[in-house]
Structure 1
Amino acid sequence: MAILRYFFLVFLVGPLLAQPGSQPLATRLKTLDSVLTQLHQRAMFNGVVLVAEKGSVRYKKAFGIANRATNEPLTSSSSFNLASISKQFIALMVMQLQEQGKLRYDERVRTYLPEFPYDTITVRHLLTHTSGLPEYFDLAQQYTSPLDTLTNDGMLQLFTEHKPPLTFRPGSRWQYCNTGYVVLGSLIRTLSGMPVEQFFDQQIVKPLNLKNTYVYYLNSRTKPHNRVYGFQRENGKNQLNDLIRLDGVIGDGNIYSSADDLLIWEQALKTGKLVKASTFQEAITPVKLNDQRTYPYGFGWFIENGGNILAHTGSWAGFLNVIVRYMDTQQTLIVLSNGSDGSARRIAREVLEGKSFTLPRTSLITNTRLIDGTGVAARKAAVRLRNNRIWEVGELTPFPTEPVTDAHGQTLAPGFIDSHSHHVSGLSSNPDALAVVNQGVTTVVSGQDGGSYSMDTLAAQLKRQPVAVNVASYTGQATLRQQVMGANGLYRTAKPAEIARMKDLLRVELGKGSLGLSTGLEYESAFFSSRDEVIQLAQVAADSGGRYMSHIRSEDIALDDAVDEIIQIGRITKMPVQISHLKIALRDKWGQSTRLLAQLEQARAEGVNITADCYPYDYWMSTLRVLFPKRDYTNATSADFAVHQLFDPSQSVLVRFAANPAYAGKTVGEVAALRREKPAQTLMGLVAEAAAFSTKNPDADGVEGIMGKSMDEPDVVNFLAWPHTNICSDGATDGHPRGYGAFTRVLGRYVREQKTMPLETAIQKMTSLTAEHLGLKDRGLVAPGYYADLVLFNPDTVQDKARIGDNKARSIGIEAVWVAGQLVYQNQKATGAHPGVLIRRK
C-alpha cells in the first residue's frame, strides 16, 4: 500500500565560483541573500549579516527576532554577545596599555598579578593562546556551587587554590584557551586602575563613537540597551539560551556590539586611531613558538591565506558569530546570530569567497505513532530530518516547500540493528540489501562466529560498491588463527609466538574501528584453541575499548562449561561480553532456559556485563560437522546421539550439498529413506562425502549446510524476553529464512500473536539495546542528533513471509525504510539509494 506522499523542493546549491572574485560581488550578494532567506525560512538562521567593501556597506539585512519573549525584531543596531570575538577588543586594550608603558608583552604575568600561580607564563602567551593553561570551565563546575556566579577574581582564586597542571610548557604549543583572556581581563582592570567596562568605554567606545557596543556580564554595572537574547531551537520551539553562571567574567567573551558598530571598529583598525600601525601589525603576525615554528594566530585574530584574511568566530550559549576581513579585496563580512545553528556563518563565507557550498536538506515525517527505541510508550509525533540525522521530534509543522511524508498513523521506529549478521558477503552483488531492509534493518554487524573481513577490505568494498545499509564488524579469532597458523594448522592449540602475532593483528584491526573480538569456538577452526588463547586475545580487545562476542564452545552437551568460559572472560577482562544466538540445542536440557538465565543474572550481579542476542526460530543453520561435538565423525554412537539429542532428522533440511546437489532441500530423514539407511548412518555418510568433495575441490566454499531443528520454543521465548537479550538474525542472503524475516517474525509472531512482550520492548531490543550491547553511538533512538536510520511499519500487519523452500519471500507491513535520511525501501521495493557507511568503533 502506497501511504507516503511527498512534496519536493531542491534545497541544494551546487558549485558557484571557481575562485574568489570570479563573479562580481553583486552577483555573490544576490546569492547570499537567497541563501540566508532559505536558511531563515527553515529555522537555521536568526541574526544579522553585513558585507562591506572599502568601508561602504554593500549588503545589510536582519532576519528574525532579538528576544523570544517579546518577538522584538532584529536590526543592524541590535547588540549581540560577541562571545570569542570579544578577544580582539581585549587584545587591543592590552596593546593600548603596552603603548602607555604599563606592561610589556614578554613580562611574566605574575609581575602584574602577584596572585597568579604560574611563574613562566608571559602576557604574550596569554594573547596568543600559547600559555598551556587549562580551561576554567571544569574547575569552576567542580569547586563552585550551582548558585555561584563566577567572576574574574573568583577564577583567579580557583587557579591559586588548586593550581591545576599546565597542559604543556608555555610557548611550546598553540591551544585555544579562554582562561588566558579572562586573566587578561583582570590584568586590564589592575593596570588601568578601573573596571574593564569603564576602560573599554574610555579607550574604544567613545573614540569611535560606537552606539551599541558595551561590556555586559552578570552582576556588572553596565545597563545594556538593544541587547539581543540568545536562544536555541529544541524540537520546533525556541528556548532561552543566554548568559549562565560562568558569565560573571570578562575577557573571553561578554562584549556586546552590533553589525553597524563592528564595521566601524573594523575600519578603525586600519587608521591608527586606537593604536599605532606598528603596534597593530604585531596583532596580525603569526605567533612564534619556542622551536621557531609559527602558528597562524596573533592577538585575537586568526591569520589565513598568508595574511590576506583575518578572521575570528564567537560561539557561546545561543550566539554564533564571525567577523572576516579580506585584506586584498578590502571586503568585510560580519555574521551575528542569536540562534543555535552555525550554518549561516559558514555558508556566508563560502558564498562571499566564491566557494561551492551545499545548504542543509530537511524533510518532515508527520502523523506518526512514534516508538523511539527507549522502551517508553508510543506517542503521536512528527520527526524532522536534517541531512543524515534527526533534527527535531514533536509537534512540528512543515517549513515552506519542505518535503513531507505523511505516515497516516503508522508506527515509526529507529532502524533495526542486526547484531549478528552474515549478509555482508552478499552485499556486493545485492547492494540494495533487500534481505535486510525488507525486515526494517538498517545496520548489519559482520565478523561473527570467528570469521571476518579486515576493516580495510570492508572499506574498499563499500567504496567500490556503495550499499543501502550500514555495516560494522568484529574481528574474528578464527580469521586471526588462519592468518597466523595457516588453514591446515588450526586443529591444535596455538603456540605463544603465534598468540603474540594474533594479538598484534587484532590491535591493528581494533585501531581501524573494529568493534571487538568475535569467536566461534564450536567450529573446528577455533575449537582447539585454549581458554588462555581466547582470554589473551580478549584482553587486547578490552584494552582497546572493544567488546567480546562469542558463538560459545558448546550449545549442547558442554553448554554449562561454555557459559562458564564466557563469564570468566568477562570477569577477567572487565569488558562487555555477549553470547551469540543464545539457545539450548540438547533435547535433554530443553526447559532449562530459566536456570541458564539465572546463571547469567548471577554473573551480572557479580559485575560481569554479560548479554546475549537471539533469533526467533527453533531451528538453526550451520554445518553437519557441528552435530559431532567430539569431532568423531565416524563414530556410530556419536551419530546416534546426534540423531536423538542434537537435531530432528525429519525436520532438519539440507540447504546445500555440493557432493550431491539433489539432496539440497530435502530433510536428512528423506535422504536416509532414499539411501535406505538409518538417519545416523546417513549423517556419517554425508559428512564423509562432503569432506571428500572438499579435498578434491579445495577452493569450493559452502560445500554443505543444514537447517537443524533442535530447540524448544518455550526456551526461545524465554531467551527473547530476557531484558538483556537483543534481537538478531544470524542470517544471510540465502539459506535460512531468518536472513529475510527474523525481525518481522518477532513483531508478528511473538509481539502481536503471542504477546510475549510489548511492541515498545521489542523495538528497544532491536534498536537502542542492540546499540548499547555493540557500543554503537548515535544510533538506535529516534532523538535529535541521532542518525536518521528509520523504519515505518504497520504493527497490525507486519509479518515475515520467508519459509523453508521460499526463503527469500519478502516481509509484509514494512512500509518504508530510511538510512542516513535517504529512503532505501518502499512498497516492498528498493529505491536504488545506497547511503550505507562503514561504522567504526569510536
Structure 2
Amino acid sequence: MPFYTRCLLQISCFVLLSSFALQAQPADRLLPGRLKTLDSTLTYLHERALFNGVVLVAEKGAVRYRKAFGTANIATNEPLTMSSAFNLASISKQFVALMIMQLQEQGKLRYDERVRTYLPDFPYDTITVRHLLTHTSGLPEYDALMQRYAGPLDTLTNAGMLQLLRQHKPALLFRPGTQWAYSNTGYVLLGSIITTLSGMPVEQFLDRQIVKPLKLKNTYAYYLNSQTVPHNRVYGFGRESGRNVSNDLIRLDGVIGDGNIYSSAEDLLVWEQALATEKLIRRRTMQEAFTPVELTGKRSYPYGFGWFVEDGGKTLAHTGSWVGFLNVLVRYVDKQQTLVVLSNSSEGTARRVARDILEGKTVTLPQTKLITNVRLVDGTGTPARQSAVRLRDDRIWETGNLTAFPNEPVTDGHGLVLAPGFIDSHSHHVSGLSRQPDAPAVVNQGITTIVSGQDGGSWAMDTLQAQLRRQPVAVNIASYTGQATLRQQVMGANGLYRTAKPDEVARMKALLRIELGKGSLGLSTGLEYESAFFSSRDEVIQLAQVAADSGGRYMSHIRSEDISLDDALEEIIQIGRVTKMPVLISHLKIALRDKWGQSTRILAQLERARAEGINITADCYPYDYWNSTLRVLFPKRDYTNAASAEFAVNQLFDPMQSVLVRFAPNPAYAGKTVGEVATLRHENPAQTLMALIGDASAYAKNNPEAEGIEAIMGKSMDEPDVANFLAWPHTNICSDGANDGHPRGYGAFTRVLGRYVRDQKLMPLETAIQKMTSLTAEHLGLTDRGLIAPGYYADLVLLNPETVQDNARIGSNKALSSGIEAVWVAGQLVYQGQKTTGAHPGVLIRRK
C-alpha cells in the first residue's frame, strides 16, 4: 500500500509562522509592531485550539489592543466578548489582599497580629496575617486534607476548611516567616477573616468596597452556594480526543479567598489603573503590596500582598490557574503598560507567549501535526481501533476522530497500523551511532529507543551525553551501569579474575551511586563473562542494593544459560527477594541441548517467584542462535580441556550451523561455520574450537589495544522454547543486536511481527506491540514512552501488518526490513520509504 505525507494548503499567515520561532524585536521597536505580532500569534493559537479567551493591552491606561477569541460556554456556543467575566483563579488573591488592607486602614486588624486573634478556632499560635498575605505561613494546601478526610459528595467551605485544620492540625512545612511556599490555604483563611471582621460575606464586601467605588460592571465573587448571581459568567472547559468537555467548578469551590473572583478584561484594566490612585486605599498602604516579603536571616522573596514583584518592582504580575481557567495580569510599571490574558480552555500557551512578545523576547509556538486514517494499536494491548493522532511538538496531544486545523500538516496513514515506537531493552547499537547517526539498523525495524549498558559493560552517563552533543542521533538512548565496568575501574583490567575485596566493593558502590544520580536506569551484570564471572554473589547483591536504594533496577545476563541455568535463575531471584526491586533476565534462553523442552518448567519457576512478590521479568529475542564470544562455550573456563571442548560441540552449540562473525587472527575465517573451519584445518570441531580460542588469546596478548577480536553466532536453542519465552506475559521483546554481526541487529522486532504474529499466530498483533512498547517501558521504569496517549512522547511507527517482516540473514545481515513505512522520534520523521531522513531528534533518557 503506498504511503505519503500530504500538507493542507498554506496561506501567507501560516508561512509567516511556519518556523514556529518569532524573532525578538529590538527594544526600541514601537508597541504597534509587537501588537501586530501578538494578533497573528493569537490567531494561530486559536485556529489550533490552543487559545480560547480574551487579551487586552493598554498603555498609560488607553487600550491599544483588545480581542476575544472563541466561546464563553461550550453548551450554548455563546461567544466571548471583552465584557465576559472569567474566573480569575489566583489573580483573585490581589483583590482579597486589598480587602485585608482596607480592613487594616479601618483599624480592624493588624498585619503582624496572630491569625487566631481573628479566628479563635485556628489551631496555630505563631502564624500572623502577614504570613498569610505573603505565603510564608508554612501551611500545607487544603486540597490534600479535603481528599483525605471529606466524603466524595462534600463541598468544601471556608468554615469547613477551618474545621479540618482544627481537627487534624497538619504539620507546618516550615517555621512561619523562614521560607516562602505558595499557599492557597492562607488566602482562604484571609477570606474568613474578611467575613468575620466586616460582618458580611466576602462577595458583599467586595461589591461594597471595590466594585461600586470603581464602577466595575462585570466583577463579582462567585463560588458554590454563594449568594452572588453570576453575570456574564464564563465557563471553563478542556479538550479531550478532539472534543471540548466541561472543566469548571468542582467540590473544592465552596471556598472563597484563594480564587473564585470573576472579572472581565475591561474591568481588570480599571482595577489595575486604580491601584496607582487612592480610590481604594492610600498609596502608602498600597506600596506594601508591591514590596518583597522579608524572611528571617536577612533574606527576601519577590512576593508582596497578592503580587509577584519582578525586576526590582518594574514589573508586577500574577497568574491564575484553576480548572479550565489559565490567566495572567501584568503591570509594566516603568513602561506604563498593562497586559491582561484571560483563558477558559485549560490551555496556557497564550499567557506565556503574550508576555514574551510584549517584552521583545523570542517566541516559540507549538507545532501540531495530524496523522489520520490509521488503525491505532496504542501499546496497551487492547484491540486496534480506527483513529487519528495529533502531535504537539514532541508529544502526543490527542487521539480520536480528529479534524485538521487550518493549514495543519496532515499525514494520511492509509489504514495502516500506527503504534508506539518500539523500545529495545537490550541493545548494543550505541557504539555504531557515531558512524551511523541515522541509526538505520534500529529505525528500519521500528525502534525509537535503545537501552545500552548491557551485559555488565557501559559508558558513563556524562560520556553518553557528550557523545550526543558532538553527534546528535536519530533515536533515544537510555543506559544501565555495568558491573564489569565498575570492576575494571576499581580492580584494573588484569585484576578481574578473582572476587573483589570489601574496600573494592565499597569503591564500586560509590561509583554506581554517582551514575545512578546522573540518571542511569540501574545495574546490569554479565555474570557469564570472565570480567564478572568470578565476582561473588554477595558483591552483586551489595551493588544491586545500591541501585534499589536509588530507585533503580537490575538487569542481568545471568551466570549461566546452560549447565548451571537453574542456579543462575535462583541467583537473580534471590537478588530480587533481598533488594525488593524489579529484576530482569536478559535474553532468556536455554542453551544446553539436554535441557531443551524445559521452558515451561522454567517459566513456572519464575511464576512462583512472582507469586512470592518478586518482580522478576525477562526480555527475549526471536532467534534460536546467539551472538557472543567463543569463550562462553567453556562454562568452566578450561579452554584447553579436550573433554570440555567435546561437551561444547555436543551440547552447547552446533558447529555446522554456528558462524564466526569475526576472527582477527585470520579474517578469512569470518563468515564460515566452525565446522567449515575445522575442515580447512583438517581437525575435528572440538580441536578447532580450542585452537581458535588459543589463537585469539595470543592475538590479544600481542595486540593489547585490539577490541572485538572474535565473535560467533552460536546455534544452540530450540524453537519451541524460544516461542514459549516470547509468549510469557512478563517477557518484552529485545534485539541484543548491534550494527553488524547477528541479523537480530537489523531485524529482531520485525521478525516477531512477521514470523511469530502473522505467520505462526503465536500472539495477537496488539500483544506483540505491547511487548515492544508499554511492557518494555514498565520493565525499565520509563513513564512517558511506550503508549500512544496524551502527554506521552511522540515516538511512533507506522507499519503494514500484512507485509512486515525481517529480511536480515546470516550473510546478508544488514538487509532492511519490509513493512515499516514511517518512524517518528519526538514527533520528527526519521525513517520513511526504507530510507532515513537525516533528522536527529534523539535524546539521552535519564531515570526520573
Q: 1:110-121 alignment to 2 at 5 Å?
A: 110-121=116-127
Aligned-partner Cα distance in 2 for 1:297–1:465: 43
Aligned-partner Cα distance in 1 for 2:215–2:74: 29
Shift of 1:563: 0.1
1:620 aligned residue: 626
Shift of 1:340: 1.3
2:21 aligned residue: 14
- One-letter code of the match for 1:837? V
Q: Does 1:410 align with 2:416?
A: yes
Q: Does 1:459 align with 2:465?
A: yes
Q: 1:164-203 alignment to 2 at 5 Å?
A: 164-203=170-209
Shift of 1:18: 4.9
Aligned-partner Cα distance in 2 for 1:15–1:251: 38
Shift of 1:626: 0.2
Q: 1:674-685 alignment to 2 at 5 Å?
A: 674-685=680-691
Instruction: Tell me the SS of whatever aligns to 1:669.
Output: helix
Shift of 1:378: 0.4
- One-letter code of the match for 2:563? I
Q: 1:273-292 alignment to 2 at 5 Å?
A: 273-292=279-298
Asked if structure 2 preserves the Cα contact closer than 8 Å seen for 1:82 and 1:256, the reply is yes
Q: Pick the aligned partner of 1:161 from 145, 167, 185.
A: 167
Aligned-partner Cα distance in 1 for 2:201–2:389: 49
Q: Pick the aligned partner of 1:44 from 46, 50, 58.
A: 50
Q: Does 1:748 align with 2:754?
A: yes
- One-letter code of the match for 1:5? T
Instruction: Tell me the SS of whatever aligns to 1:761.
Output: helix
Aligned-partner Cα distance in 2 for 1:838–1:408: 33
Aligned-partner Cα distance in 2 for 1:656–1:733: 14
Instruction: Tell me the SS of whatever aligns to 1:6.
Output: strand
Instruction: Tell me the SS of whatever aligns to 2:330.
Output: strand
- One-letter code of the match for 1:14? A
1:591 aligned residue: 597
Asked if structure 1 preserves the Cα contact closer than 8 Å seen for 2:423 and 2:773, the reply is yes
Asked if structure 2 preserves the Cα contact closer than 8 Å seen for 1:12 and 1:360, the reply is no
1:477 aligned residue: 483
Shift of 1:2: 4.7
1:545 aligned residue: 551
Q: Does 1:134 align with 2:150?
A: no
1:205 aligned residue: 211
Instruction: Tell me the SS of whatever aligns to 2:276.
Output: coil
2:503 aligned residue: 497
Q: Which runs of 5+ in 2 are unaligned?
A: none
Aligned-partner Cα distance in 2 for 1:67–1:317: 14
2:571 aligned residue: 565
- One-letter code of the match for 1:133? L
Asked if structure 1 preserves the Cα contact closer than 8 Å seen for 2:24 and 2:363, the reply is no
Q: Does 1:577 align with 2:577?
A: no
2:318 aligned residue: 312
Aligned-partner Cα distance in 1 for 2:23–2:615: 54
Asked if structure 2 preserves the Cα contact closer than 8 Å seen for 1:2 and 1:827, the reply is no
Q: Deviations over 1:141-162 (max 9, x none)?
A: 1100110000000000001000
Q: 1:252-331 alignment to 2 at 5 Å?
A: 252-331=258-337
Tell me how large the CA RMSD over aligned residues is: 0.7
Instruction: Tell me the SS of whatever aligns to 1:185.
Output: helix
Aligned-partner Cα distance in 2 for 1:572–1:603: 12
Q: Deviations over 1:22-66 (max 9, x none)?
A: 211111111111000010000000000000000000000000000
Shift of 1:476: 0.2
Q: Does 1:353 align with 2:339?
A: no
Q: Deviations over 1:609-648 (max 9, x none)?
A: 0000000000000000000000000000000000000000
Q: Does 1:3 align with 2:3?
A: yes
- One-letter code of the match for 1:841? R
Q: Deviations over 1:48-99 (max 9, x none)?
A: 0000000000000000000000000000000000000000000000000010
Q: Pick the aligned partner of 2:151 from 124, 145, 160.
A: 145
Q: Does 1:828 align with 2:834?
A: yes
Asked if structure 1 preserves the Cα contact closer than 8 Å seen for 2:20 and 2:366, the reply is no
Aligned-partner Cα distance in 1 for 2:568–2:379: 32
Q: Deviations over 1:356-399 (max 9, x none)?
A: 10110000000001100000000000000000000010000100
Shift of 1:687: 0.3
Asked if structure 1 preserves the Cα contact closer than 8 Å seen for 2:20 and 2:367, the reply is no
1:737 aligned residue: 743
Shift of 1:13: 4.1
- One-letter code of the match for 2:753? L
Shift of 1:193: 1.1
Aligned-partner Cα distance in 2 for 1:406–1:485: 57
Q: Deviations over 1:390-423 (max 9, x none)?
A: 0010000100010000010010000000000000
Q: Which runs of 5+ in 1 are unaligned?
A: none
Q: Deviations over 1:241-274 (max 9, x none)?
A: 0000000000000000000100000000001110
Moved more, 9-18 or 481-490: 9-18
Aligned-partner Cα distance in 2 for 1:428–1:609: 36
Instruction: Tell me the SS of whatever aligns to 1:692.
Output: helix
Instruction: Tell me the SS of whatever aligns to 2:32.
Output: helix
Aligned-partner Cα distance in 1 for 2:151–2:616: 39
- One-letter code of the match for 2:727? A
Q: Deviations over 1:751-809 (max 9, x none)?
A: 00000000000000000000000000110001111000000010000010000001000
TM-score by length of 2: 0.99
Aligned-partner Cα distance in 2 for 1:616–1:341: 45
Shift of 1:15: 4.5
Shift of 1:4: 1.5
Aligned-partner Cα distance in 2 for 1:16–1:518: 46
Instruction: Tell me the SS of whatever aligns to 2:363.
Output: coil
Aligned-partner Cα distance in 1 for 2:613–2:3: 48
Q: Does 1:92 align with 2:98?
A: yes
Q: Deviations over 1:651-699 (max 9, x none)?
A: 0000000001010000000000000101000000000000000000000
Q: Deviations over 1:570-617 (max 9, x none)?
A: 000000000000000000000000000000000000000000000000
Q: Pick the aligned partner of 2:535 from 529, 534, 542.
A: 529
Q: Deviations over 1:406-458 (max 9, x none)?
A: 01001000000000000000111110000000000000000000000000000
Instruction: Tell me the SS of whatever aligns to 1:314.
Output: strand
Q: Does 1:243 align with 2:246?
A: no
Q: Provide runs of 4+ in structure 1 moved above 2 Å.
A: 8-19
- One-letter code of the match for 1:262? L
Instruction: Tell me the SS of whatever aligns to 1:365.
Output: strand
Aligned-partner Cα distance in 2 for 1:53–1:436: 56
- Number of aligned residue pairs: 841
Q: 1:363-402 alignment to 2 at 5 Å?
A: 363-402=369-408
- One-letter code of the match for 2:336? Q
Aligned-partner Cα distance in 1 for 2:757–2:795: 22
Instruction: Tell me the SS of whatever aligns to 1:405.
Output: strand
Instruction: Tell me the SS of whatever aligns to 1:49.
Output: strand
Moved more, 1-10 or 28-37: 1-10
- One-letter code of the match for 2:643? T
Shift of 1:16: 3.0
Instruction: Tell me the SS of whatever aligns to 1:488.
Output: helix
Instruction: Tell me the SS of whatever aligns to 1:506.
Output: helix
Shift of 1:14: 2.9
Aligned-partner Cα distance in 2 for 1:39–1:663: 63
2:455 aligned residue: 449
Asked if structure 2 preserves the Cα contact closer than 8 Å seen for 1:22 and 1:354, the reply is no
- One-letter code of the match for 1:333? L
Asked if structure 2 preserves the Cα contact closer than 8 Å seen for 1:17 and 1:23, the reply is no
